[in-house]
Structure 1
């Protein structure tokens, strides 16, 4: 079965969110389907998109696992974005949680050190 994932993030201010997510992901969107939506490709068949939905903004919670969490943390810090919270689970898995201007949480997890 072929599978594509589109993980949506509702935002209040599209322009402000677009700028923030460009800094978080380190690139402009892969495509912009309309005036209030932007889409980033994280990996093959795996997409994250923002969409202006003020009444629903601030409730997204997504976690993306990466091979090198430390590299990702360094790259986002260079772009002026730092995690709001870091966690380490009992099994050693680490997670950094970023919070956008609306309160949506985007976590990046990585393997134990």
Structure 2
């Protein structure tokens, strides 16, 4: 039985990576067990680890669900200087999405449900309310 998920990205400078991901996630890390490693619980049971090391080329993207992709894109452009964050949609897809890279080349992104009732139901289910 799978009950949790952890994803790791690597950065060449952990101090810069810590600061960058803190702004991206809009929160302080939940766990710093040792030098060279920072971890956030994004949702209950869903962890993102940032570790000092050599980034993996071509991996990802790790896409995070948001309620307003345009506002989040604008925030990241302003606060982190993100470039090349184009938002896409297709008629047959129930979400819009966009992908960008961190300063170390890790591919990340956001997606937003087009059907706001579906979005509310997903949030309730994930949070157990």
**Shorter-chain TM-score range:** 0.7 to 0.9
Judging changes above 3 Å, is the alpha-carbon distance between structure 1 residues 44 and 81 closer, same or farther for their aligned structure 2 residues? farther
CA distance in 1, matches of 2:30, 2:81: 20
Q: Which has the higher helix share?
A: 2
CA distance in 1, matches of 2:71, 2:27: 16
Q: Which has the higher strand share?
A: 1
CA distance in 1, matches of 2:80, 2:113: 24
Listed as ranges, the matches of 1:9-28 within 5 Å are 9-28=9-28
1:94 matched to 2:63: no
Cα distance per residue 1:4-36 (max 9 Å; x no partner)? 111000111111111111111112211111101
CA distance in 1, matches of 2:70, 2:30: 24
Give the drift of 1:87: 3.4
Q: For the aligned residues, what is the CA RMSD? A: 2.2
TM-score in terms of structure 2 length: 0.71
Pick the structure with greater CA Rg: 2
Partner of 1:103: 105
Q: Contact 2:20–2:80 at 8 Å: present in 1 too? A: no
For these two proteins, the number of residue pairs brought into alignment is 111
Partner of 2:34: 34
Structure number with the bigger relative contact order (C-alpha 8 A, sep ≥ 6) is 1
| Structure 1, unpaired ranges of 5+ | none
| Structure 2, unpaired ranges of 5+ | 116-129
Cα distance per residue 1:69-97 (max 9 Å; x no partner)? 23433543553444532231323522122
